[in-house]
Amino acid sequence: MWDAHYFQVVDTGGILFDDKAGEVFAKHIRMQAEIALKECSVAMLVVDGQEGITNLDLEIARYLRKQAKPVYVAVNKCESHMKSNEQTLPFRKFGFGALFPVSGLHGSGLGDILDAIIEDGHLPKITKVAKENVTNVALVGRPNAGKSSLFNRLYGGERSIVSELPGTTRDSVDAVLTWNESLYRIIDTAGIRKKSKIPHGSEYLMVNRALKAIKRADVCLLVIDAPEGIKEQDRILSNTIAAEGRACIIVLNKWDVIPNKDGSMYHQGVEYVHEALPRIAWADVIMVSAKTGQRCLKIMEMVEKAKESHRRRYSTSVINQVLKDALLWQSPPTITSQHAMGRIYYATQTSTAPPSISLFCNSPLVRIFLSIFLFLSFNLLLCEIHLITLLIDYCCTLPSADPRFI
């Protein structure tokens, strides 16, 4: 926001018009820049004030003149006010009018260029901003699991760059789509490797951003390379998703390349996933092919179901009726140290996303027995149970139980 004007900034990759050998992503980056130009209200051409004008700068300027968009030139790296006029002078060749010396390092000069854009009427003033009701869906997984291909398939366009090379996605990419009159923000994240294999640098930063995407997501799509199977890193990611209290759908991608498929393989695959990822055995599993589009549309149906379950609230009377049924089904475990029977007095839901239930009892040992019953009764995607004893000041948060332990 600047001067009560709200706007979004889209940072594109460096544009190259000559696809030289070894420039694997030049064409893809250029395509993404063209998409950004079509969708934008204003284009800002950023040039290097210390290096001066280059042939590539002139080529980009010629390209921008052909676009029906207002263009503002930001001459970067102008940290010295004494030399700013000298640094900006060569760029008058562009013919875009006023030049704005700025410093991305210090932030100086950015206000001037934003004021000029507003004065020219390119940014409408918004006095009231409606609260955004968007469900965040993060695609997470190991490198080269097909997250970007799946992202493009869900979005319905080439929003993210896809390549055979692992580590193509260097930063989180967002896109908002509408499904059944609801808004969903799909977040494509960088592939996450083992922590020991991540050097300090750009990969370290992009992995941290991917982990932050899990924290701000409502639903996580854990994308797994089906031909390779589940690796240790997939188990670590599943533990992270459960620990953050996110709803989750396990997506086995590249199902089209699995040989000799038959009617029973799908169900065997679901059992295999639940056994290999016990921390999120409650999550739905789907086998898809981002390349062919097989079952990809069903993902959004599952996301909608997961969102509703993640935000569901139950009345206290319903929860306590479930407790009553649970006690009829099985008595709570005995407190060994006191030779007394475990007792459950009262329960109520205290929050959603994930659903959290505060349980008043005299022993924390009832958590396994009760969480299994709650899982089966409510079909929760994740249930954090807060246990509060009446004898001592005891409160803890526990994940939902694995239904396979029944």
* Domain match, 271 and 355 both: no
pLDDT tens-digit profile of 229-258? Answer: 999 999 999 999 988 888 999 999 999 999
Tokens 């930001």 locate to: 74
Q: How many CB atoms lie within 10 A of CB 83?
A: 13
* Domain match, 304 and 322 both: no
Could you tell me where the beta strands, DSSP code E, fall in 203-245? Answer: 219-225
Identify the domain containing residue 389 by its residue range: 316-405
The per-residue pLDDT of the chain, averaged, comes to 80
* Domain match, 158 and 236 both: yes
* Domain match, 274 and 360 both: no
Domain membership of residue 10 (yes or no) is: no
Q: What is the pLDDT of residue 355?
A: 81
pLDDT tens-digit profile of 175-209? Answer: 888 899 899 999 988 777 666 555 555 556 677 88
Contact between residue 176 and residue 184 where contact means Cβ atoms under 8 Å apart: yes
Domain membership of residue 125 (yes or no) is: no
Predicted model pTM: 0.74
Residue 31: which of 162, 222, 144, 148 has the closest Cα? 162
pLDDT-wise least confident of 128-142, 286-300, 333-347:
333-347
* Domain match, 155 and 185 both: yes
* Domain match, 297 and 233 both: yes
Bridge partner list, 100: 74
Percent of the chain predicted with pLDDT > 70: 76
* Domain match, 155 and 303 both: yes
d(CA 132, CA 319): 31
- Based on the structure, what is the number of domains in the chain? 3
- By residue count, the chain amounts to 406
* Domain match, 294 and 324 both: no
* Domain match, 336 and 278 both: no
Domain membership of residue 205 (yes or no) is: yes
* Domain match, 155 and 292 both: yes
Domain membership of residue 298 (yes or no) is: yes
Burial bucket for residue 108 (CB in 10 Å: 0-12, 13-18, 19+): middle
